[in-house]
Amino acid sequence: MTKKRSDTGYSIALAAKALLLLCCSMLFACTQERQPCLTPKTASFNLKCVHYLTDTNTTTQDTSLPRAVFIPLTDTPLQSLYYRTSSANFTISLSPVADSCSWLITTDSLLYAFDTLSFHYTRKLQFLSNACGYTYFYSLTAATTTYNNIDSVLITNPSVTNDVNTRQLKIFFHRN
């Protein structure tokens, strides 16, 4: 009988300890803060700049723009993206408040005139996560340009998502 009572007491003590441990762990586990957003929240519209090697052939070569400037044509005060280092790959964004938008682009802020790139697209609402909320993904339908420095543009992938590695537009510059 004494043995049985001590066994029961041991079980109670064990259960009490377990409960205490659990309550303590719960106190640490409970959090009301929002989880951090670990994925890009804005869809990346990735451009690649190239030029034809000659006027007649179709082989292209990367065009490294020395000091490229991209300016979005928005209703808000003028903002721009200055690239201080030479590059052939750039990332811009599309407007989530309209089905088209335009950017001014120049290959070198000191030397060349601007071209206007216009994009038309459809928007698709995309839930990222509770931590990141919603964003828009886009499907490009058309791209147009002026021809000061640019020869033509080509949509290589119409799907604009938050995947930073996929390029959607190839810009062909005049051979200088």
Partner 1 sequence: MLIPGNLRYFFTAISVLLLLCVSVAEGQTTDTLPKADTTKAKVDTVKVVQPSRQLVLGADIILPVRNYLETQRTGYEFHADYFLHDELYLAAEGGWGSSEVAYTDLKYNTRNTFLRLGFNKVLLPRENRKDWGGLMLGLRVAAAAINRSPVTYTIVDSLWGNSEGALGGKTFGGYWAEINAGVRVELFHGLIAGWMIRGKFLMNAKQFKDLAPLYVAGYGRGDKNAVFDFNFYLSYALRWKRS
Minimum gap (Å) between residue 169 Cβ and partner 1 = 18
When asked if residue 112 is in the footprint of partner 1 (CB under 8 A), the reply is no
When binding is defined by CB under 8 A, the residue of 14, 111, 113, 142 that contacts partner 1 is 14
Site string for partner 1, 35-54 (x = CB under 8 A): x-----xx------------
Query: Tokens in use for 146?
Result: 């002026």
Site for partner 1 in 55-84 (CB under 8 A): 72, 74-76, 79
18 near partner 1 (CB under 8 A): yes
113's CB contacts (< 8 A; 6+ apart) are 106, 148, 149
Q: What residues does 130 pair with on adjacent strands? A: none
CB of 47 to partner 1, least distance (A): 16
**Tokens at residue 15, please?**
């259960």
What's the rounded Cα separation, in Å, for the pair 157 and 165?
12
Q: Contact, 113 vs 146, CB < 8 A?
A: no
Beta bridge partners of 46: 91
Tell me which stretch binds partner 1 (CB under 8 A): 22-30, 107-115, 148-156, 159-167: 22-30
110 lies in the site for partner 1, by CB under 8 A: no
